[in-house]
């Protein structure tokens, strides 16, 4: 079975229970965020993907992101009406471009998943696709609810992450 490693970004420490050397999920690399991912952090994630992809003998990287407060600047915002636009949800033009490039590249490679406790995960997929399709972006990959965007109640995300990697035919390693 091919080897994989998982990088998981979230702002809720509840979702990292067991992700340590003695826990039930020791092979998951976690990043607990105090604020939404910055443009620099997104670019570093993309660099890590490219570096790992260049190493044919190394494990295949999979990236998992929470939505509210991790990819977005706010929690629970799921409507883009007259009051809200992509900049209100995702921030500056530089941050939106970093999100587009990073998520689009990872998604096109089949290595990007959104695990959200937001029950409107179909709307999450729609908003992310709106981001990918904005600003003359040439990204053709799209998020799909119940596939690349999944509802995962708090505390269940590590189990879902491991199940996704297994479904893709990989064995998770540290």
**Top-confidence residue, 85 or 34:** 34
Confidence band for 18, pLDDT divided at 50, 70 and 90:
low
Nearest to 39 by CA among 112, 131, 106, 102: 102
What pLDDT does 139 receive? 77
Q: Which domain holds residue 81?
A: 3-172
Task: Provide the domain count of the chain.
Answer: 1
Please say if the pLDDT value at position 27 is more than 90. no
> Residues 99-152: pLDDT tens digits?
999 999 999 999 999 999 988 899 999 999 989 987 666 778 899 999 999 999
Nearest to 90 by CA among 108, 109, 112, 65: 65
Structural tokens at position 105? 């590249």
Please say if the pLDDT value at position 86 is more than 90. no
Instruction: Record the pTM.
Output: 0.90
> Residues 31-82: pLDDT tens digits?
999 999 999 999 999 999 999 989 888 899 999 999 999 999 877 655 555 4
What pLDDT does 39 receive? 97
The sign of the dihedral angle between the CA atoms of 95, 59, 153, 19 is negative
């Amino acid at each position: 079975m091919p080897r994989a490693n998982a990088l998981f970004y979230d702002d809720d420490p509840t979702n990292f229970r067991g992700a340590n050397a003695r826990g039930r999920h020791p092979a998951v690399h976690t990043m607990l965020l105090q604020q939404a991912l910055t443009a620099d952090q997104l670019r570093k994630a993309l660099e890590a993907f490219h570096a790992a992809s260049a190493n044919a003998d190394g494990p295949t990287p999979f990236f998992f992101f929470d939505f509210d407060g991790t990819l977005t600047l706010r929690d629970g915002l799921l409507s883009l009406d007259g009051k809200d636009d992509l900049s209100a949800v995702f921030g500056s033009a530089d941050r939106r471009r970093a999100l587009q490039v990073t998520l689009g590249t990872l998604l096109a490679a089949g290595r990007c998943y959104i695990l959200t406790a937001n029950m409107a995960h179909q709307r999450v997929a729609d908003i992310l696709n709106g981001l990918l399709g904005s600003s003359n972006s040439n990204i053709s990959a799209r998020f799909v609810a119940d596939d690349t965007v999944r509802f995962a109640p708090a505390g269940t995300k590590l189990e879902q992450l491991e199940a996704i990697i297994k479904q893709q035919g990989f064995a998770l390693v540290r």
